[in-house]
Structure 1
Amino acid sequence: MKIVFLVSQYNPNVLKWGAALQKEHEVEVIIWDRYGVSSEILAECEFKDLKLKFFRLKVPTKNFVLPFFYPLWWLYAFITLFNKNIEILHPFDLDSLIPMLFLKRFKKVKLYYTIADFYADTIPLVYPHILRRFLSNLERYLLEKADHIFLVDENRFNNIKGCKIKGLTYIYNTPADTKISYKNEDKIENDSLNIFYAGLLDDQRGIKFLIKAVIESNNVNLKIAGKGPLQSYVESISEKYPEKISYLGFISHAKVLDFSASADIIVAFYDPKVPINKIASPNKLFEALMLGKPIISNRGISIENVIYKENCGILIEYGNLKELKRSFNILRDPQLRKELGKKGRSLYERKYSWKKMEKKLLNIYGDLHDL
């Protein structure tokens, strides 16, 4: 059957889902390239046989400007897909769900919907509460029109609790097993630490206090990749402290895994004051588990429970510079890093392996298609 995924900004998980389903179905992925990274995605995409199509319209990173561009995305998606022979439409965010609901009225197709992040929770706190309330009610109303809902973890269920949904499946944001293990630990014979971060360069991700901690710590280096509002800041800091900070720009997910594998520590910080961060299900956690790397994150968010229960990393107070620098010192011990990494890897194999998620995804798509 013909499946089309639609996402309003680059998300490596969409490509992974598409590649998994392509083993048994015809799949196309349509992406709004709002950051101008389509050439990098195409050049570095690990799924060479996956059909990708881009809406190349770059927009400013300021949040208040973005909504003015949504109608152009909706129109593009509708026109692009109207005459296509499609059996299943699968949007990955509210921005993409809206035009697909209109399309569903004109075509006999099934509509599946993945909620990676509940839209209202992503709205900055500076905006009126009434706006978040409106968007929350809108998404809850619209998702009831879908034939099936996918969530990336159980913490997201509260967002849709009480909604009249036809079906629900959990597919975790976990990476495929690259077979790159924690063997890198054996080569470390000094106390030098290599830290890696890849993701959104934003104030809500603890970028500035991470960089400050690295600069103020001896024999600690940071490689950082991604795009976002703090990109200019990161670029200037890396030029000022080239021996401590390396900015890699936007890189493919395959390269993210390569740099993660060669790092000693993975970091993932989320400001718990932001509602969406409290239930964050970050790729970085699952990548650390898969690669057998210890992770440093912060308390007050959902992944705290995983890290604490499995003892696969260190938790600090968000923004606490002293605690972060102390964590660096604790993890200078290569044997401790290896022990924490092994516990994380064990959890990945037991619960979060992509092999399990892929099988689940193929089975549910097959079952739903037969209904």
Structure 2
Amino acid sequence: MNIVIIRSNQVNPDPRVEKLAEILVKKGNRVVVLAWNRNEFYLPSEQIVNLYNFFYKIIRVRIPGEYGKGLSNLFPILKWQMFLFLWLVKNKNIYNIIHACDFDTIIPSIIVKLLFKKKVIYDIFDYYTDSFKIPFFLRPIIRFLDKIAMKISDKIILCDEIRLKQISFYDLKKIEIVQNIPKDLLFYFKGNPNYLFRKNCNLTLAYVGILQEGRFIKEMIEIFKKHLEWNLIIGGFGPLESEIIRNTRENIIFLGRLSYIDALRVYYESDAIFAIYDPSVPNHKFSSPNKLFEAMMLSKPIIVAKGTGIDKLVMEEKIGLIVDYGNIKDTEDAIRKLEDKLFRDSLGLRGRKLYERKYNWQFAEKKVINIYNELNNN
């Protein structure tokens, strides 16, 4: 099969896209990734990724734009849509399946499907109107177009069953659940020590990801300013980056943008991970973040917010702690509990066993392969 994967970021990194490309090329498929480079102009416009002598190409289009800016980013989004449509038409003979990630890639993909009878997989990482700043008057229009795209697509991929309620689309023959499960790298890290920071404290807590409001990052920094006996490690990029840099100190360390493997190493070297998302944000109520499964794989406890998409699993399986979003004392108390090594190790071990039993990489890989084989045979 010849496949084009489309993602509206620079794929530097994008774990879900990179894992998908790896699965497909190792099965003998030809893969091209189309990516939108908004603000990192040092990145190459074309990149060949070598995975142990399996190759795929990333093509990045440079269209200046910003994340989370609403209508002020409208013109760059329209330019991105036009680029996708023209590229897909011009190169229509080099692919037969389009894997479109999120709403901001699906409309050109659907048009090209109708014009040239291509197969389209609609991979919904985040439900668009619940995830981004969209003017009220545009929301019903986008939801309407989204429903049409779902109906026309050949397959829809969701990262968790709870997203069925969010998207309100129930053609279960068309929908597949592929969770954000990482490859098992625990024993790789154990056998390849390469310390990114020194631990000289009672506890090290880590977060690597998008640095934006609604993820308890600023609040966590204020907590760690008062507790010099704890280390806070932050990595990633986003609107809060400059503010985080201003607040770095001996026990608050900012590592900047990290590769996926280095992000996992940070988690491995830390004592616990936090993924505390604001439950008042609609998309967070249905979230299934990479961090949850990465914590399981690495045998680390995780702190999450009550009322988000993952709190019930964390609570029922006893693989981490639940806090009230915005409650500083509640979060401090949770961190204090994790100072007990026996307690946090017990949480991490339960998470690891759950990963091995139910949320392992082989299961996710098999799901992806079956989806593509089914499309190819129809």
> How much has 1:163 moved relative to structure 2?
5.4
**1:231 aligned partner:** 241
Change (3 A) 1:214 1:150: same
Q: Within the alignment, does 1:63 sit opposite 2:41 as a pair?
A: no
Amino acid at match of 2:25: Q
The structure-2 alpha-carbon separation of the partners of 1:324 and 1:40, relative to structure 1 and needing over 3 Å to count, comes to: farther
**Residues in 1 aligned to 2:61 and 2:47: alpha-carbon distance in whole angstroms:** 17
Question: Is 1:208–2:218 an aligned residue pair?
Answer: yes
Higher relative contact order (CA 8 A, sep 6+): 1
d(CA) in 2 for partners of 1:329, 1:163? 43
Aligned length: 364
Contact 1:40 1:252 in 2 (8 A): no
Q: Quote the RMSD (CA, aligned, Å).
A: 2.6
Moved more, 330-339 or 49-58: 49-58
1:311–1:8 CA distance, 2 compared to 1 (3 A): same
Residue pairs, 1:254-269, within 5 angstroms = 254-269=261-276
> Aligned runs of 1:348-359 on 2, under 5 Å?
348-359=355-366
Aligned partner letter, 1:121: D
* Contact 1:143/1:165, CA 8 A, preserved across alignment: no
Q: Percent of aligned pairs with the same residue? A: 34
The one-letter code matched in structure 2 to 1:303 is I
**Judging changes above 3 Å, is the alpha-carbon distance between structure 1 residues 47 and 211 closer, same or farther for their aligned structure 2 residues?**
farther
- Cα separation, partners in 2 of 1:43 and 1:79, compared to 1, 3 Å: closer
Equivalent residue, structure 2, for 1:88:
97
Judged with a 3 Å threshold, the aligned counterparts in structure 2 of structure 1 residues 250 and 159 are, in CA distance, closer, same or farther, namely: same
AA of the residue aligned to 2:123: T
Q: Greater CA deviation, 245-254 or 129-138? A: 129-138
What is the deviation of 1:209?
0.6
Return closer, same or farther for 1:153/1:123 CA change in 2, 3 Å cut-off: same
Confirm or deny: 8 A CA contact 2:276 2:325 kept in the other structure: yes
Determine helix, strand or coil for the equivalent of 2:308: coil
Quick check: 1:199 aligned with 2:206? no
Aligned to 2:59: 53
Amino acid across the alignment from 2:215: R
Contact 2:202 2:229 in 1 (8 A): yes
Q: For each residue in 1:158-188, what CA deviation from the matched residue of structure 2 results, as whole angstroms up to 9, or x when unmatched?
A: 133345576111100111111348969xxx9
Residue number in structure 2 paired with 1:5: 5
The CA distance in 2 between the partners of 1:350 and 1:2, in whole Å, is 33
1:225 positional shift: 1.0
**1:266/1:294 contact within 8 Å kept:** yes
SS of structure 2 residue aligned to 1:177: coil
* Residue in structure 2 matching 1:14, options 17, 32, 40: 17
Q: 5+ unaligned residues in a row in structure 2: which ranges?
A: 192-197
CA offsets, 1:193-238, max 9 Å, x none?
A: 1111011111111111111111111311111111111111111111
Aligned partners of 1:58 and 1:234: how far apart in 2? 24
1:150 aligned onto 2:172 = no
What is the one-letter code of the residue matched to 1:54? R
Contact 1:120 1:135 (C-alpha < 8 Å) held by counterparts: yes
Question: Superposed, which structure 2 residues align to 1:1-371 within 5 Å?
Answer: 1-9=1-9, 10=11, 11-24=14-27, 25-36=29-40, 39=43, 47=51, 49-61=55-67, 62-84=69-91, 85-124=94-133, 128-162=135-169, 167-180=174-187, 192-238=202-248, 241=249, 243-371=250-378
Check the 8 A contact 1:203/1:230 in 2, yes or no: yes
Structure 1 unaligned regions, length at least 5: none
Distance change >3 Å, CA 6–CA 182, structure 1 → 2: closer
Mapped partners of 2:284, 2:38: distance in 1: 22
Distance 2:60 2:368 in 1: 24
CA–CA distance in structure 1, aligned partners of residues 304 and 39 of structure 2: 27
Deviates more, 1:322-331 or 1:339-348: 322-331
Residues 41 and 280 of structure 1, relative CA distance in 2, 3 Å threshold: farther
State the TM-score, normalizing by the size of structure 2.
0.89
